[in-house]
Amino acid sequence: MAVHYPILLCRTDLRAVVIGGGPVGQRKAAGLRDAGIPFRLVSLTPAPEDWSDSPQSQWVQDAYRPDHLDASQLVFAAAVPTVNAQVLADAHARGLWVNSADNPEAGDFVLPAVIRQGDLLLAVHTGGAAPSLAKRIRERLSQDFDSQFGEWVALLAEVRPQILARIPDSAARRGLLQSITEWHWLDRFRQEGRDSVAQSIEESIRRLEASGPTSL
């Protein structure tokens, strides 16, 4: 069994191609859209009624050809097995990373079950042993890491530059940055709302600006 190394891609110039427009291919496309990665989807079938092309996502009704891989760095083989095998061979001949829906171990990367809440990203993978279990774990985690959790993470991202810029003492900065990630702040966020928590953090910043380290 392959060893899986988790990685988050940070490149802004990635382009992808999805071969296959069935349910699996459309799920791959949805994940790319959520990640903001431009892609083409190539399928023998026409686009569904709720699909709309954009500069970021295009549906190409065509039989697969190797030139469909042009200008792409990520390839998703989500068609029938014979086509997927050809896509794998063509992608590897070009040195491209490819994900194979029906033969994951033959590809270069696999896709975990994902939870996205704003900037928060959680990924779950069971090594291919039980993909349905990964989905169940994602569903359970989604109950705790909900939209309010994502809003809390967004607030933390907003106040972090303020803390770094306004508090000169490094120990005080570190203490506040650690403090505002404690769970009781999330509880307050859920109970009192974003504005109340943001105001409390601002008051903590002001105290540390004026007097240095203090209890939070």
Residue 49 structural domain? 16-111
**pTM above 0.85?**
no
- In terms of C-beta density within 10 A (0-12 exposed, 13-18 middle, 19 or more buried), how is residue 171 classed? exposed
Among 111, 128, 163, the domain-final residue is 111
In this structure, the answer to whether residues 21 and 107 fall within a common structural domain is yes
Strand partners, 121: 116
Say what the pLDDT of residue 1 is.
59
Q: What is the pLDDT of residues 97-131, one digit of tens each?
A: 999 999 988 999 998 888 888 888 898 888 777 77
pLDDT score for 6: 86
SS3 165: helix
Model confidence at 215, pLDDT cuts 50, 70, 90, reads: very low
For the chain, the residue count is: 216
Q: Is 33 exposed, middle or buried (0-12, 13-18, 19+ CB in 10 A)?
A: middle
The share of the chain scoring above pLDDT 70, in percent, equals: 96
Q: Which amino acid is at 115?
A: I
Residue 132 covered by a domain: no
Residues 20 and 80 in one domain: yes
Query: Domain ends where: 111, 135, 163?
Result: 111
CA 113, 119, 120, 122: dihedral to nearest 10 degrees? 20
Residues 84 and 156 in one domain: no
User: For the chain, how many structural domains are there in total?
Assistant: 2
